[in-house]
Each structure stands twice: as C-alpha cells, then as structure tokens.
Amino acid sequence: MAEVLLLSDEPSHERLLRRAWPYMRPHSGRLLAALLLSLAESAALVALAPLIGLAVEALVAGDRDRLLTAVALLAALVVAQALLARFAASTLAVAGENVVRGLRERAAERLAEAPLRFLEAHRGGSLLQRATGEIAELAMFVREALPNLLGVTATLAFTIVMLLGYSWPLTLVVVAVFLPPALLITRWFARGAGPAFGAHAGAEATMAGTFAETLDVREELRAVGGLPAWMERFDRDNLATLTTQRRTVLVENRIGAITLVEGAAMAVLLVFGAWLAAEGRLSVATVVVFVLAGRNLFEGFGDLSQLAGEIQTVRAGLARLLDLLSAGAPEPDGVLPLPARGELLAQDVTFRYERDTEVLRGVSVRFSEEAHAGLVGETGSGKTTLSKILGGLYPPDSGRVTFGGVDLREASREEVRRRIALIPQEVHMVSGSVADNLALAPGEPGRDEMEAAFEALGITAFAAALPQGLDTPADDLSAGERQILGLVRAVLADPAVLILDEATADIDPVTARDLETALARLREGRTLIVIAHRPATIELLPRLVGLRAGVLDTRHEN
C-alpha cells in the first residue's frame, strides 16, 4: 500500500518564517518597501519626544526663537509621521494580501492536484478549514495587526537607542526594572501559547468537519431518526472547542500581567528622574523626554501583549496551512504521451485502502479498442475501486494498468484525463447553470457545441424539457439527470475510453430512457466500460466482467 501522508492536528511551529519564505519571495520587493516605510514612520514617532524636550528646554530658558523653531519642526514631524504611517500601512497591506492570495491559490491547486488517497484519508471539513478558515485569519492579521506589529517593534528599538543617547544610567534603571519581569511573563505566555492555540485550531477543524458532514447526510439522518445521536456528537465536538477556547483565554490573560510591571517601571522612572533633576545631574527637558519616551516604551510592550494572542492564532493557522501545502503534494507526473486509441489492460492489479485489507487481489482484465463491457458484482466486490484504477485516479499497489502499451503512471495526468474519462455514480455539479457546468469540459465549449453534444447523443428532447434550458440551475437536477450531463461532458471531451458508474438511485422512466439512448450513442467509436446495476443497461452490453470479493468472478465472463 502506498504511504499516505496524514496532516497533523497540531503541526510544528518551528522555522515558520523560513518555511513560509518561498511563498513570500515573489513579493519581497514590496515587502521590503513596506518595512522601510514602517521603520521611517517609527523613527518619526520616536523623534517627537526629543523635539518636545527641545521645546521645554527653550521654554525654561525663555528663548522664544528656539521655541518657535521646535514647535514648527514638531508640527512638520507630526504631519510626516501621519503620512508615513498611512503609506506604510497601505503598502504592507497590499504586499500581505498578495502573499495571502498566493497561499490561497496554492492551497486550491494543492487540493485539486492532491492524490485521491490523501483526500479520502481526511475529513472534508478539516481540509476546508485549513484552505479557507486559516487563510481568512491570516488575511485579517495582515490587514489589521501586522502593520501595528512592525510599527511597535521598530518603535521599541528606536526608543531604547534614543534613551541611551540621553542618559544611559537612567535607561539602564528603567530597563532593569521593566525588562526582566516583562520577559519572564512573555516566556510564561509563550510556553503555554503554542499547545493552547494549536489545540484550539485542531478542535475548530474537527467541529467544522462534523458540521460539514451534518449537511451532507442530513436527509439520511432524518430518515432513520439518527439526528439526535449525531447532534450529540456535534455537541461533544463543540464542547471540546469551547474547552480549548477557554484554555487560550487563560493563556492570553497571562500577558496582561505586564501592565503591573509597566506601572512599577513608570513610578521608578518618575522618582529617580526627579531625584537626578533635583541633584542637577539631568535637565528638566531630559526628564520630560524620558517620561514621554518611557510612555512609548511601556505602551509598545502593552500593544505587543495585546497582539500576542493574535500572533499565536496566526502562527497556529499558518503551521496548519503549511502542513497542508507540504503533505498534500501531488504524485510525480509522468511524461510519456498516450496514443489516440488503444487497448486498456490491467495486469495483476492489487490494491489496499488499509494496510492489511486487500480490496483487489491479482485482477487482470483486458478491454480491447472500442470494446463495450459491463462491470458487475455484489456491493463491496471492488467494482468502483477497479474503475478508479482503470481511470488512473488510483495507482495500484502492485501490478500495472496500460493504455496502448503505456503504463498510466508513466503518462502525464493531462494525457490520461484526455484519453480516459470516468463518470462517477454521483456526478457533482458546481453552483451555476447547466451551461456553466458543461463549460468545464476541455476547451471551454460554447452553447453551439453543447447543443451539438445533446444532438449527438440523441437526447435533444431532454435538453428541451429542462425548465430553463441550458440556464436551468444545476442544483435542481436529479441524480439521473446529472449522470446524463456527465455523458454530455464526456462527448465534449471526446475520450477514447469512457468509464461510467451507473446511478443506482431510483430513476424515473423518462430519465432512464434518455440515459440508455445516450449510452447507445456514446459507445460508438470508443471503449465503454459501465459499472452496471440496472438489468436494462446490462442487456445493452455484449460482455460482462464480474468481481467477487476483490477477485475476478469467471461466472460472468462471456
């Protein structure tokens, strides 16, 4: 059995920036410009305190000209700081949104190209949460919190440098009183933040998966009276999410203790600064600068403490997203072309969904060019699995499948999709009209090509009977009608081999007749393999291939 990489509920947060850098590199120029603007804006903000100090010094000295000059410079700096802040935030937002857009596109591509085994090994809601919910939180962080984070960090650094230039003894006193307890509190927060926020993200993904499954099976749950039991499961997942949320709140509250440290440090600064001024060791202007800059310093740490929770949430989400992008890597693509027509051959194929359970064992079957055959057998015999292997969606664990003598694993996926089309029992439609769904066929066919496809299948009456013609909403179609549209899409793609898993749901006589007419027309000039359930369909097929418990059942070979 091929090894399937499973996503971790709480992936590692180590080297996140290094792992995310390949997705940021294309936007490095704009990111650098945003960083430089943020640094300039922070420098302008820090420079306000020294200018106010100059104004105080001029005021104490009674120097009117120096005072007016300081006030004018202060006004100009305020305007410059405001403009720099605006440009820095907008530039960073644009750069960040471009990075998020790239991640969103990469996640969509990765899920579209991921091996079928990988998709089936994970709950749809969990994958959806990583590809949408985590990216939405990242986008919100980029728009609202990231500009503040860069600005606050730069402001703290510049403020400490400026204070050292004024009085390194007083700066060391402030740092000694404030920094050690602040760092201890930050470390206390960080120690619990990773596990807490990671567990919360995992619990939210589990709840999203349960909710998505509830929508998928709501009719069946109501029909069998299983809704109360299922809701109990949802309540358990919801309670687990609430429990992890409470844990994150408790961890977030740890960082609030920095406020007490700020108050103590400001008190020490005022007392010590006043004593130095009284002793004549510092000017009043310098004390004013320290009070203003100290306020910036303490508010900066306070802002960082407020951002800490958001940073950890985004770190957890980014780790889960990068886990998806790395674990869901597509299998290596082949390079060989496939012939336009050819024989489809499965040789000694074995396949397992689970390591110790063989679904198919040593299956060998040959479908010559333009052959028409049906796959039959009891439920669970391996018919659908074999059809997916023949269609190149699953690589066999052992053995091989060839078309025209070329192993499907050695051919490019695009070539396989062009030559072999699989129409599943449940044909999924995207939101939109019938025409929107048919336009998904290769080449983006127009309405003329769509109408020609209905005519080629001899079911123009089916198209005419649709309530709004090709503009009929696809959501209004029955299972049988969707399979007919799947056949129409197959005509538009014109594959050499068509594999159809016939719908087992009750089909009304008119739709069943249209389906049989389309099949009779579609078999001309191509290989047709039908997983047949209805006697009327089986009668149309000249050959039957039987499966029983994962092996060929020779009783059906004719």
- As to burial, measured by CB atoms within 10 angstroms (0-12 exposed, 13-18 middle, 19+ buried), residue 484 is buried
Which pLDDT belongs to residue 480?
A: 76
- Residue whose pair of structure tokens reads 């509190």 in the numeric block: 185
The dihedral over CA atoms of 218, 223, 228, 232, expressed in degrees to the nearest 10, equals -50
Contacts of 332 (CB under 8 A, 6+ apart): none
- As to burial, measured by CB atoms within 10 angstroms (0-12 exposed, 13-18 middle, 19+ buried), residue 532 is buried
Distances (CA, A) of 460 to 1, 177, 453, 457, 490: 46, 84, 9, 8, 16
Cα separation, 472 vs 304, whole angstroms? 54
Q: Which amino acid does the sequence have at 272?
A: F
Cross-strand bridge partners of residue 499: 422, 529
Give percent of the chain with pLDDT exceeding 90: 4
Task: Dig out the tokens for 207 from the structure.
Answer: 């709840």
Provide the pLDDT confidence category of residue 216 given band limits of 50, 70 and 90.
Answer: low
Question: pLDDT of 237-246, one tens digit each?
Answer: 888 888 888 8
> Picking from 68-72, 199-203, 437-441, 445-449, which range would have the lowest pLDDT averaged per residue?
199-203
Give percent of the chain with pLDDT exceeding 70: 92
Question: pLDDT of 105-162, one tens digit each?
Answer: 888 888 777 777 777 777 666 777 777 777 777 777 777 677 778 888 888 888 888 8
Mean pLDDT, rounded, for 416-430: 83
Pairing, β 527-531 against β 372-377? parallel
Question: Which residue, 111, 147, 144, is CA-closest to 127?
Answer: 111
Ranges of each domain in the chain: 16-327, 344-556
Neighbours of 510 (CB within 10 A): 12
More confident residue, 552 or 330: 552
Which pLDDT belongs to residue 79?
A: 92
Question: Which residue, 532, 517, 530, is CA-closest to 462?
Answer: 517
Question: pLDDT of 503-517, one tens digit each?
Answer: 554 566 777 777 777
Which pLDDT belongs to residue 366?
A: 92
CATH class of the domain defined by 344-556: alpha beta
Q: Which amino acid does the sequence have at 543?
A: R
Contacts of 345 (CB under 8 A, 6+ apart): 365, 366, 367, 401, 402, 403
Question: pLDDT of 222-239, one tens digit each?
Answer: 666 667 777 787 888 888
Task: Dig out the tokens for 214 from the structure.
Answer: 């509830």
Q: Are 289 and 49 in contact (CB under 8 A)?
A: yes
Cα separation, 545 vs 558, whole angstroms? 8
Mean pLDDT, rounded, for 513-523: 74
Which pLDDT belongs to residue 348?
A: 92
pLDDT exceeds 60 at position 2? no
Task: Dig out the tokens for 395 from the structure.
Answer: 């690589």
Cα separation, 334 vs 392, whole angstroms? 12
Q: 16-327 in CATH: which number?
A: 1.20.1560.10
Neighbours of 3 (CB within 10 A): 7
Question: pLDDT of 333-392, one tens digit each?
Answer: 788 888 888 899 999 999 988 777 788 899 899 999 888 888 888 888 888 889 889 988
Question: Which residue, 538, 170, 535, 138, is CA-closest to 319?
Answer: 138
Q: Could you tell me the sign of the dihedral formed by the alpha carbons of 432, 437, 442, 447, in that order?
A: negative
Provide the pLDDT confidence category of residue 252 given band limits of 50, 70 and 90.
Answer: confident
Question: pLDDT of 40-59, one tens digit each?
Answer: 988 888 888 888 888 888 88
Query: What angle do the packed helices 284-327 and 16-24 form, to 10 degrees?
Result: 80
- Residue whose pair of structure tokens reads 């400001």 in the numeric block: 266
Please give the helix or strand (H or E) that residue 81 lies within, else none.
helix 64-113
pLDDT exceeds 80 at position 395? yes
Average pLDDT, rounded, for the chain? 80
Same fold, 16-327 and 344-556: no
Which pLDDT belongs to residue 400?
A: 92
Cross-strand bridge partners of residue 402: 345, 407
